[in-house]
Each structure stands twice: as C-alpha cells, then as structure tokens.
Structure 1
C-alpha cells in the first residue's frame, strides 16, 4: 500500500511547518501529497506554492469542490498545474454538501450525481482539446444560451495544449451511488470515513460502476483508492482517540443539518445511529465539548489507526485487505517519520 501526505485545508491560517512536512514526505518516499478546501483556503494555491519546492511526489487536490469553479475554470487550473509540475498533478473533485454549496457559494445543490457526471465530461473535453467545447447542460451549458444571455457566446478550445490529455481525475464519494459513479467515470476514488468492516459494500458499489465503465477509460487495475485515514501513534489508545474525536464530531454533527448530512449517513450505515443522534444534538445546540466526548473510542478505532506502534502494525493488515491502495496521513515532519517507520 502506498503512502500519501495530506496538507488538508487551513484552520485560522496557514499550517505551521507545512512545507517542511511536505519535503520530508517526499524524502521518505511518499507517493503523493494532497490539499483540500472547505470555506477558507482553496485547494490549488497551496498545492502550487508548496509543491513548487518538490520534484518527485505527485500533487493532488483532495478535494476541489465543484461549486467553487466552473468546469472550464477547473480544467484551466488543472492543465496549468500539470504543466508547472511536469505531469505530477491529479485532479480530485467532490460535490461537497448543501451547507457549503448553498451557504458559502450561493449555488443550488440539485442532483449531485448528474452534476458531477456533466462537470467531469466538460473537464475531459477541455483537456482532450479535440474540438471547441460544447455541452448541452442542463447544469453547465456551453455556450450559455439562457434567457439572459448576451448572445455572443461561441464554442471555444483551450489556447494551451495540455501536457496530458488523460490527466487523472479522482472523485470523492461516500454513498454507494457516488462510489459507483467514481468507478464508472473517474481514474480513482477518494473515500472518507472508511471502515474496513464496510469493504464488501464498497466492493459491490465499485463493481457496479466498473461494469458500466467505457473501454476508453484507464483499466480497472490502474484505479486508485486513496483514503485519508488518521494515524495517531501513542502509548495510550484513549489519548490517541482524543486527537481524532473533534474531527469526527465536526463531520457527524456539524457538517450539515439534522435532515441532511452525508457524512453522518456513512457512520449510521456502520450501526452508530444512536451515537450519531447524540453527537448531532450536542453539536447543533452548541455543546461541542459534549459532542466530542460522545464519539466512542470503538468508532475511532474503526476509522483510524491509533495507539502503540505494535497495535497499529497489527491492525494495518485489515486495511491492506480492503480496496484501499493508498493511505493518506497527516502530521508534522517528525510525526511523518514515525508513521513511515510503522507503516512501511
């Protein structure tokens, strides 16, 4: 299993020591490095800025949000960064959720599967550069011909020749239909909140997508499943779990509403309905400390590798037996050295 390094998205400002950690990840032989975005820092700028100091490690967005940019703007950023990195860029995309899309970008959140399919096709058409790009819509019509159109739009072709017309595109997906879509139209899948116990369900979803995959797409054997998983070496399992609980409480309780939270649904499918309900109630009522405390250790151990190094090594086997091909980890340079020593 390959190792990746996640710079994530920023909290109140740029993460201290990020460049040092990225350079250490490359020195340690990590295969890839990834940035993210939510509603603060963007995914492309840090990747270009810090990635310019590297020479070998692959650079990916994990993830860039669909609603943050039009398909054409995303394709322009991707082909630019692929040129600047010498062909090391991977475009990771995700639909995000209604809270961010409607609350931050001011865009509607209809039919995420259909929008994703349409978005990816336009990006691929731009990168292929075979003809001026047109798209029928309904979400991203090119040229735009709505009732308020000025009437001067015409199909265009990128002035820049992409370095790789087949630049890899990965999709973030959590639900079974989204996972199947990734296997059908993308070159890789970026899971989140993945438990090895659910591996059989994910395999079925991937198989469904692969059965519809076009022959022109990259072969199934090359399909990458790159999972960001917390790895927290610590003598105390409980203290290690305490480092993961805030993130889980945020995504279960705070990344959505009582009615719609795709992240919480993943955990509920694992059988934690009662716990998810309690975490959500605390979080939405502003009781974040109680929400964090309500995250059970056994859930953390399902979704993360935590505790003494010997325990992590023993548990690693169950991850190696899943569909996951790359483990993406976080931490400063010193932590990455420890993690690499345990996982390698």
Structure 2
C-alpha cells in the first residue's frame, strides 16, 4: 500500500505558520511531514522547533543541498531532529544546480555523481555508528558520531535522471523525486534504481518517494486551473536546466522556450495532479500503480495563490479520500 505524506507548502518565517501542517500529519492518515531546502528558516530548526511546541511527527527533508554542509554536519543534524522529535527521519540530499554549487564552492562539482556517492555513504555510515575515514577525492576527514539511541534515520538521494537513479539504487535508503511524471518514473527511473541495486548486490530496493504538486478546482475558487497552479508552484523548477532536461526526457515540450508550454506538458503527463477531487485521485493512483511507495502532496501553488487555510482544506480533502484515518 502506498503511503501519503504532506509537504510544508511555504517557507515559514514564524514557527506557528508550520504548526497546522504538522497537526495535519498527526490527525490524518498522512505518515510524514516534509520540507525542501529553505533559506529563511532552516528546515532542521523548523522541525526541532515544532517538536518543542508539542508537534512531534515523522519528518523528511526532500532535499537538502550538499554544498551547504559537510557530511558529518549533515548526519549530526539529521540525528538531532530524530532525537528532538522522537520520530523517524528521512534525510534526503542532492547536489543542487551547477550555478548553486559554483556560488557556494567557487566551482561546480566536476563529477556530481561521484560526490553524491561519497556524501551519501559517509552520512549512512556515520548514522550507523561507524568511524568514517575518507581520504578524497571529494571529502577528506575522520569522524564518528557520539553514541545515542535515536529513531531511525534513512538517507535519501534526490533523483531526476537515470544516472542518479542507478546511484540511488546502489547506495541510498530512499529515492526522492520532484515533479517527475508517473510514466517516466515507471519506465525510466524505477528500472534504473533496480539496475543500480542489482549492480551493488542489494537484496532489497530503496523506497521510492514522489513529491507530487497538486491543487483542487472547486466552486468559488477562481484561477485554479491545473496549468496555472502548476506554473504558480513550480516556475523556478520549470526553468532550471536539470529539471528541463528531465521533463524533456519525460515527453514534455521544453523546446519552445515558453514556460506556459512546459506547464501544459507537466499537467498532461500527470506530473501535476489537478482538477476536481476525482481527477486528482485518478492521477495519484497512477503514481501508486507505477510503484511509488510514498506520495508527498505538495500544495505550494494553492498556498501561494489562495492562502494556507485553502491549502490545508485541499490536503485534508485529498487525504480523507486517498487514505484511511489512523
């Protein structure tokens, strides 16, 4: 059975802005609260703050960007959230765009797959209590986390294209996708994950998590057409070279240079789950049938255009229809 989770649909500037979404996870059939990389309130601190306010729920980071922190710091932060919440954590990582790498590091990663491999392996081993000794080519350090009994922290890798999917199949606990059409997941990403796992001799596959942007068209809500919502919530992704490459591989028309054409393709390929509630559920079922283990509902566009209360209403309606209550 596919699990359903919730993405925090905005970057909070005050902790209380995030609490209703943690409450939604606590009081519905949702299994986890996720947040992507944020540059205002740092996600690890947001989740720890919510735990201090009494909202302790399983959490996921999908994904934090590798140039921002050393692998030792990444493992320490992820385990700290598990200790603070008393709940499991999925710590997802990704290299970010080449421009982001260059801005922070002075130059982009020459071999991003090689960097990601070393990074994920270091974090996993540190969380397992091992003493890690790395002598390049990208990280040179020796370290061990002090022992502590903490809930499980799984290590995930952000995946858009086959090469990263194969790597995730080799070294990650979780595969995390964003804005990836279900057909592309089924036909391209999942076979690559299987290939990587077989190459590494793994006896079980990583869990597959799909971040799916969504929003309901309903009476009284003007301007909630799927293409408009898809654009409102994902315009930055629809202009980033690595996302455009992925979407092009998935059959989206990215060659015209018009972001409106990209948004239309995102809707047509099912990468955005829009329309009325039955239409949204139909799209989400395609992800389930593709083999996704966890669907993360992303109501960023509704939150941006209509406010947090409307986003909560959409998420509640979808969760009630898609999953049984706890």
| 230 and 156 in structure 1: CA distance in 2 versus 1, 3 angstrom threshold | closer
**Residue matched to 2:194:** 207
For 2:41 and 2:17, how far apart are their aligned partners in 1? Answer: 16
**Residue matched to 2:147:** 161
Q: Would you say the 8 A contact 2:8–2:34 is kept in 1? A: yes
| 240 and 252 in structure 1: CA distance in 2 versus 1, 3 angstrom threshold | closer
For 2:54 and 2:166, how far apart are their aligned partners in 1? Answer: 34
**Residue matched to 1:77:** 77
SS of corresponding position for 1:134: strand
For 1:85 and 1:296, how far apart are their aligned partners in 2? Answer: 37
Q: 2:251 aligns with which of 267, 271, 286?
A: 271
Q: 1:190 aligns with which of 155, 168, 176?
A: 176
How big is each residue's C-alpha offset from its partner over 1:196-245, in whole Å with a ceiling of 9 and x where there is no partner? 22212122201111102355xx832xx32111101211148962331111
Q: Would you say the 8 A contact 1:82–1:163 is kept in 2? A: no
How big is each residue's C-alpha offset from its partner over 1:146-167, in whole Å with a ceiling of 9 and x where there is no partner? xxxxxxxxx4433x21435963
For 2:276 and 2:119, how far apart are their aligned partners in 1? Answer: 44
SS of corresponding position for 1:10: coil
Length, aligned pairs only: 306
SS of corresponding position for 1:168: strand
For 2:4 and 2:151, how far apart are their aligned partners in 1? Answer: 26
**Residue matched to 1:225:** 208
| 4 and 18 in structure 1: CA distance in 2 versus 1, 3 angstrom threshold | same
**Residue matched to 1:335:** 314
For 2:277 and 2:35, how far apart are their aligned partners in 1? Answer: 27
1:136 equivalenced with 2:123 (yes/no): no
How big is each residue's C-alpha offset from its partner over 1:15-64, in whole Å with a ceiling of 9 and x where there is no partner? 97421122122201211111111544433111221244456631111111
1:127 equivalenced with 2:127 (yes/no): yes
SS of corresponding position for 2:149: coil
SS of corresponding position for 1:219: coil
CA drift at 1:10: 1.8
1:304 equivalenced with 2:266 (yes/no): no
**Residue matched to 2:164:** 178
Q: 2:232 aligns with which of 239, 246, 256?
A: 246
For 2:77 and 2:196, how far apart are their aligned partners in 1? Answer: 28
Q: Would you say the 8 A contact 1:9–1:43 is kept in 2? A: no
For 2:44 and 2:168, how far apart are their aligned partners in 1? Answer: 21
For 1:118 and 1:43, how far apart are their aligned partners in 2? Answer: 23
**Residue matched to 1:152:** none
For 2:57 and 2:29, how far apart are their aligned partners in 1? Answer: 8
How big is each residue's C-alpha offset from its partner over 1:286-341, in whole Å with a ceiling of 9 and x where there is no partner? xxxxx4x4445343242111101122233333222112111111343322211212
Q: Would you say the 8 A contact 2:88–2:153 is kept in 1? A: no
For 1:170 and 1:95, how far apart are their aligned partners in 2? Answer: 12
For 1:72 and 1:246, how far apart are their aligned partners in 2? Answer: 36
Structure 1: tracts of 5 or more residues without a match: 143-154, 256-260, 280-290
Q: Normalising by the residue count of structure 1, what TM-score does the alignment of the two structures yield? A: 0.80
For 1:203 and 1:77, how far apart are their aligned partners in 2? Answer: 29
**Residue matched to 1:319:** 287
For 1:213 and 1:9, how far apart are their aligned partners in 2? Answer: 38
For 1:3 and 1:81, how far apart are their aligned partners in 2? Answer: 21
Using the TM superposition, name which of 115-124 and 81-90 deviates more.
81-90
